[in-house]
Amino acid sequence: AQSVSQHNHHVILSEAASLELGCNYSYGGTVNLFWYVQYPGQHLQLLLKYFSGDPLVKGIKGFEAEFIKSKFSFNLRKPSVQWSDTAEYFCAVNARGGYQKVTFGTGTKLQVIP
Amino acid sequence: DAGVIQSPRHEVTEMGQEVTLRCKPISGHNSLFWYRQTMMRGLELLIYFNNNVPIDDSGMPEDRFSAKMPNASFSTLKIQPSEPRDSAVYFCASSRTGPPDEQYFGPGTRLTVT
């Protein structure tokens, strides 16, 4: 069964700082990878996803993530964060094929200080 | 589109009582998911349905939990009897075609069992 680890539970950054949130998954086969975000008072929503092709994926609001197969990682990055990026970020993995469920990590709370 | 609708938004109940959470997925979506979010375990999939049929219920904690989807526009998650350790936020999500398609989450039901 697949699993996901997010090592940073709470991150605090100042505006304009660069962001990198770690995500590692465990699964021996081919996977699809996702980052979801939950802004304060809003629903969880998809930020970006990787299915195949270019391992550098760009999402909404200037976020990007890079799939490094050899490291089983899918870290989320943003060169310059804004106060409005304050949210909880969830990495998720889905093993390809059939009705494979999506497994979420425990989430990272990002707080951006103005 | 109204999005995924969940009710109630908050539920406070006493240990031993039955609790029923409700979800209306987005019209046209054929997959529905129930998740539980806690500080300790993050976002856990409890069960997911495809075309009203339960596909993966391996995350249902124990026999006290049951879920039904009698038609394409309605699902329930029932806990009977409830226990304090069931206190969590319960999310419902739907997607057009099932994993790995994007999941659209509802606002969640915050359950407190005293």
Residue-wise pLDDT for B22-44, tens only, equals 999 999 999 999 999 998 888 99
> B40, B43, B55, B94: which to substitute to probe chain A, counting the most A Cβ within 10 Å?
B43
pLDDT band for position B1 (cuts 50, 70, 90): low
Q: What is the pLDDT of residue B41?
A: 86
- Which H, E and C letters describe B10-58, residue by residue? EEEECCCCCEEEEEECCCCCCEEEEEEEECCCEEEEEEEEECCEEEECC
Chain A's closest residue to B4, CA to CA, is: A43
Residue B54's nearest CA partner among B27, B28, B33, B80 is: B33
Whole-Å CA distances, A47 to A2, A8, A21, A65, B56? 21, 18, 13, 10, 25
Other Cβ atoms less than 10 A from the Cβ of B108: the count is 22
Predicted confidence (pLDDT) at residue A98 exceeds the cutoff of 80: no
Chain A's closest residue to B109, CA to CA, is: A43
* Mean pLDDT over each residue of chain A, to the nearest integer: 94
The distance of A15 to chain B (nearest Cα, Å) reads 26
Asked if A45's CB is within 8 angstroms of B100's CB, the reply is: no
Q: Give the pLDDT mean for B79-106.
A: 94
Chain B's closest residue to A101, CA to CA, is: B99
Are A47 and A21 in contact by the 8 Å Cβ rule? The answer is no
